[in-house]
RNA sequence: GGCGACAUAGCCAAGUGGUAAGGCAGCGGUCUGCAAAACCGCGAUUCCCCGGUUCAAAUCCGGGUGUCGCCUCCA
C-alpha cells in the first residue's frame, strides 16, 4: 500500500510521490530563539522528526532542513528587556533549543540554517521580486504586492476579499494594499540592521524560509511542515514569495500539525498558559513526553495534562518491560549470555539470525511468535502509511508486547530447556520491537542497550565506577544472598533486602528463573 | 462575518460502508511465601442529537447542538 499524506493545499490525503524518485526534501519551520520552547512547539518539532524517520524506514533518502530564526521583533524586545545584546539572547536559547530537542529524542536536521547567515540571499530574492514588479519599496520598507499573485489565499483556503476585511495595517506602514506583507523592514534606531539597496534594515518574517528552502532544497521540494497557525499568513506568504521568485510552486505537500491545548484552551505564549518542555522534563523523561506527543494523530488537537503524561509513562513502560522480560528470559546481557564478549544487541542479532522466521511450523510456539511479529509489523506499516498514524502504530507495538510477554511466560520462563528455535524467535521479536519503536523514536537503542540479564542499569557503572567494584555486581551479590535466605524461608530478611533496594530505586522482581532487577526513576 | 477542525467506554485514543483496535484506571481469575511483573476474562447492543441514502453507516448526505482554532506576533 502506498504512503498517503494529508495535504493542506488540497485538503485531502494524497499518494506520496516525491519530486525525485527515492529522495525527499523536507523543510520544517524551526524555533525563534527568544525563549525556552513549550510543549506545543515540541509537537511541531517531533512531527517532522517522525515523518523523516518513517520515510527513511521506507527507504527514502531524506534531507531535512530546519531554520533557526535568530532575528525578529521578539528577540529584539527580549534583549531590550534584559539589557543584553540580541546575540546573547540568541546564543542562550539556541543552546536551550538543542538541549531540549535532544532530550525529546529529536534528531538534528541535516541542515540547520540561521536567518542571519542568509541576509545576502534574502536581499537578492527581494531585489529579484522588485525587478519582476512583484514587490515595491516605500521609505526603506519593501512590500510584496499580493495583487500580483492570483493564487494568493489558496493554501489557507481564503478568498482575497475576506482576507482584506480582516487585515490590519500597522501605524507607520505605507503599504499600497492592506494584504501586502513586509519583505524588508527599514531599521529603527538601535536595532540590528544590514545594509541593503533600500537602506539599512532587516528581513521580514517570511522571507528567510523562502530563501533557505530554495537554497538547500531547490525551487520545488516535497514536504513542508509547521503548526496550523502558520498556514496563514506565514506559509501563504512563503508560497507567494517563492513562487514569485522561482516561478514554480515551492512545496508539493504541506503538512500542518494541530495544537496542544491546556484545560481545553489553546496553549500560547501570549496567553501565558504554556508549559515549557524544560519544565516538564523535570518530572518526566523525554521519551514519555515524546510518547505523549505521538499518542494522537498529528493533525488532531491534544489536551495536555499530568494525568495524560502519567498514562503515557505507564504505557511506554509496558513496551520497555516486554523487551527486558525477553532479554532476561534469554539470559542476554552485557557480560552474560552465551558469548559474554559480545555487546547485548550483537548477541540478540546473532541469535535472531540463527533461526529463520516462517520456517517453524505454525503450530509451534516459535511459529506463532513469528506470525505475531509479522502481524505487528504489517499493522505498524499500514498505520504509518496512512498519513503517519502514530496512534495506530503504537497499538501495533502493544500487540507485539503482549505476544512477547505471553511467549516468555508460557514458553520460556521456568522451562528446563528452551529450544534454539524459540530463543531465536524471541530474539526476533525483541529486535522488531526495537526497530519499530525507534522509527517513532520512543524506544531508544541507547537506553535499551543498557539492558542486561540482571535488569536495566544506569550508564555510569560499566566497569566498576569509582569503587572499582561495580554497582551491578553489588546488587547481584545482594540478590544472591537474598536467594539463599529465601530458600531458607527467612522472608523477613529477603523482604527487607527488596524494600531497601526499592528505596534506592532498584526494583526487584522474582520470577521462576530467579530474581531480576531494574532501575526506576529517571 | 469568512475559513476550518473536532465530538467513539470512567479517562486517553484508532477506526471513511460490512457489523467497535490499542493504552490507562477498575473488577474477577491464574501465577507468587508475599509483592511486583505477566497472562486470561469482564466493560461502549453502540460511536453528540434528529432525519435521509443503502441489504448494510461510527463511517455517506441534510439539518441541529457543543467544544476549539485560524482570519493579528504565535507551533
Domain limits, chain A: 4-304, 315-453, 455-522
How many other CB atoms sit within 10 Å of the CB of residue A291? 25
According to DSSP, the residues that pair with A518 across neighbouring strands are A507
Range A4-304: architecture per CATH? 3-Layer(aba) Sandwich (3.40)
Give residue-wise pLDDT tens across range A405-415. 999 888 777 66
Cα angle for residues A301, A304, A309 (degrees, 5° grid)? 125
- Look at residue A460 in the predicted model and tell me its pLDDT: 38
Which residues fall within 8 angstroms of residue A150, CB to CB, at 6 or more apart?
Answer: none
Nucleotides of B under 7 A from a protein CB: 1-6, 11-16, 21-25, 31-40, 67-75
Q: Strand ranges (DSSP E) for A127-282?
A: 135-138, 141-144, 181-186, 201-203, 221-227, 251-257, 260-262, 265-266
Closest CA to A122 of A213, A237, A203, A200: A203
CA A512 – C1' B40 distance (Å)?
19
Contact flag, residue A465 CB and nucleic strand B, below 7 A:
no
Element (H, E) at A507: strand A506-511
Cα angle for residues A68, A440, A209 (degrees, 5° grid)? 20
CA A50 – C1' B56 distance (Å)?
38
- Look at residue A451 in the predicted model and tell me its pLDDT: 41
Mean pLDDT in residue range A299-309: 92
Cα separation, A64 vs A295, in Å, equals 23
- Look at residue A458 in the predicted model and tell me its pLDDT: 37
> For residue A272, what pLDDT band results from cuts at 50, 70 and 90?
confident
CA A242 – C1' B17 distance (Å)?
42
User: Residues A442, A395, A400, A516: is their CA dihedral positive or negative?
Assistant: positive
The ipTM (two decimal places) reads 0.95
Mean pLDDT in residue range A72-89: 94
Residue A52 contacts residue A64 (beta carbons within 8 Å): yes
CA A372 – C1' B20 distance (Å)?
22
Residues 215-254 of A with CB under 7 A from strand B: 226-234
Contact flag, residue A460 CB and nucleic strand B, below 7 A:
no
Give residue-wise pLDDT tens across range A459-489. 334 444 455 677 778 888 899 999 999 999 9
Residues 404-443 of A with CB under 7 A from strand B: 405-406, 408-409
Mean pLDDT in residue range A39-52: 96
- Look at residue A271 in the predicted model and tell me its pLDDT: 75
Give residue-wise pLDDT tens across range A91-121. 999 999 999 999 999 999 999 999 999 999 9
Which residues fall within 8 angstroms of residue A111, CB to CB, at 6 or more apart?
Answer: A63, A64, A65, A66, A216
Cα separation, A269 vs A36, in Å, equals 11
Nucleotide nearest to A399 (CA to C1'): B22
Which residues fall within 8 angstroms of residue A266, CB to CB, at 6 or more apart?
Answer: A259
Is the pLDDT score of A343 beyond 90? no
Give residue-wise pLDDT tens across range A308-333. 999 999 999 999 999 988 988 888 86
Contact flag, residue A401 CB and nucleic strand B, below 7 A:
yes
Contact flag, residue A69 CB and nucleic strand B, below 7 A:
no
> For residue A76, what pLDDT band results from cuts at 50, 70 and 90?
very high
Cα separation, A352 vs A313, in Å, equals 29
Pick the CATH number of A315-453 from 2.60.120, 3.40.50, 1.10.730, 3.30.200: 1.10.730
Cα separation, A406 vs A420, in Å, equals 18
List the alpha helices (DSSP H) in A285-343.
286-294, 306-330
Amino acid at each position: 500500500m502506498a504512503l498517503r499524506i494529508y495535504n493542506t493545499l488540497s485538503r485531502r490525503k494524497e499518494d506520496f510521490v516525491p519530486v525525485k524518485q527515492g529522495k525527499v526534501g523536507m523543510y520544517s519551520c524551526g524555533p525563534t530563539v527568544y525563549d525556552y520552547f513549550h510543549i506545543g512547539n515540541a509537537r511541531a518539532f517531533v512531527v517532522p522528526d517522525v515523518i523523516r524517520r518513517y520515510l527513511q524506514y521506507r527507504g527514502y533518502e531524506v534531507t531535512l532542513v530546519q531554520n533557526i530564526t535568530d532575528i525578529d521583533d521578539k528577540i529584539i524586545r527580549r534583549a531590550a528587556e534584559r539589557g543584553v545584546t540580541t546575540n546573547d539572547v540568541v546564543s542562550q536559547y539556541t543552546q536551550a533549543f538543542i538541549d531540549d530537542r535532544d532530550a525529546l529524542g529529536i534528531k538534528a536536521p541535516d541542515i540547520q540554517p540561521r536567518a542571519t547567515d542568509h541576509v545576502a540571499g534574502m536581499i537578492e530574492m527581494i531585489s529579484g521580486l522588485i525587478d519582476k514588479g512583484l514587490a515595491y519599496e516605500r521609505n526603506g520598507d519593501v512590500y510584496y504586492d499580493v495583487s500580483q499573485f492570483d493564487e494568493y489565499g489558496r493554501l489557507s483556503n481564503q478568498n482575497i476579499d475576506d482576507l482584506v476585511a480582516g487585515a490590519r495595517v500597522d501605524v507607520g506602514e505605507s503599504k499600497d494594499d492592506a494584504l501586502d506583507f513586509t519583505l524588508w523592514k527599514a531599521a529603527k534606531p538601535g536595532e540590528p540592521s544590514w545594509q541593503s539597496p533600500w537602506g539599512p534594515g532587516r528581513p521580514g518574517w517570511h522571507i528567510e524560509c523562502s530563501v533557505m528552502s530554495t537554497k538547500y532544497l531547490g525551487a520545488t521540494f516535497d514536504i513542508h511542515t509547521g503548526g496550523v497557525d502558520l498556514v496563514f499568513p506565514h506559509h501563504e506568504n512563503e508560497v507567494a514569495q517563492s513562487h514569485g521568485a522561482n516561478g514554480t510552486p515551492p512545496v508539493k505537500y504541506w503538512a500542518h500539525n494541530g495544537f496542544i491545548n491546556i484545560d481545553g484552551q489553546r496553549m500560547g505564549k501570549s496567553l501565558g498558559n504554556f508549559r515549557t518542555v524544560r519544565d516538564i522534563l523535570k518530572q518526566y523523561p523525554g521519551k514519555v513526553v515524546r510518547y505523549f506527543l505521538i499518542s494522537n494523530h498529528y493533525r488532531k488537537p491534544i489536551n495536555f495534562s499530568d494525568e495524560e503524561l502519567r498514562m503515557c509513562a505507564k504505557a511506554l513502560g509496558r513496551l520497555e518491560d516486554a523487551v527486558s522480560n525477553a532479554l532476561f528470559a534469554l539470559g542476554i546481557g552485557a557480560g552474560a549470555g552465551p558469548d559474554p564478549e559480545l555487546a547485548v544487541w550483537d548477541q540478540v542479532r546473532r541469535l535472531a539470525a540463527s533461526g529463520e522466521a516462517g520456517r517453524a511450523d505454525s503450530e509451534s510456539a516459535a511459529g506463532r511468535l513469528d506470525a505475531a511479529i509479522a502481524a505487528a509489523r504489517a499493522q505498524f506499516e499500514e498505520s504509518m502509511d496512512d498519513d503517519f498514524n502514530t496512534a495506530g502504530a503504537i497499538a501495533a507495538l502493544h500487540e507485539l508486547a503482549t505476544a512477547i510477554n505471553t511467549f516468555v511466560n508460557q514458553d520460556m520462563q521456568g522451562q528446563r530447556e528452551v529450544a534454539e528455535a524459540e530463543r531465536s524467535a524471541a530474539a526476533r521479536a525483541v529486535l522488531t520491537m526495537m526497530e519499530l519503536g525507534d522509527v517513532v523514536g520512543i524506544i531508544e537503542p541507547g537506553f535499551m542497550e543498557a539492558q542486561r540479564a540482571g535488569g536495566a542499569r544506569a550508564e555510569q557503572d560499566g566497569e566498576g565506577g569509582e569503587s572499582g567494584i561495580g554497582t551491578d555486581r553489588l546488587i547481584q551479590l545482594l540478590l544472591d544472598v537474598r536467594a539463599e535466605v529465601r530458600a531458607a524461608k527467612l522472608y523477613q530478611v529477603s523482604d527487607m533486602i527488596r524494600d531497601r533496594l526499592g528505596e534506592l530505586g532498584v526494583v526487584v522482581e522474582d520470577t521462576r528463573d530467579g530474581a531480576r532487577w531494574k532501575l526506576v526513576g529517571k
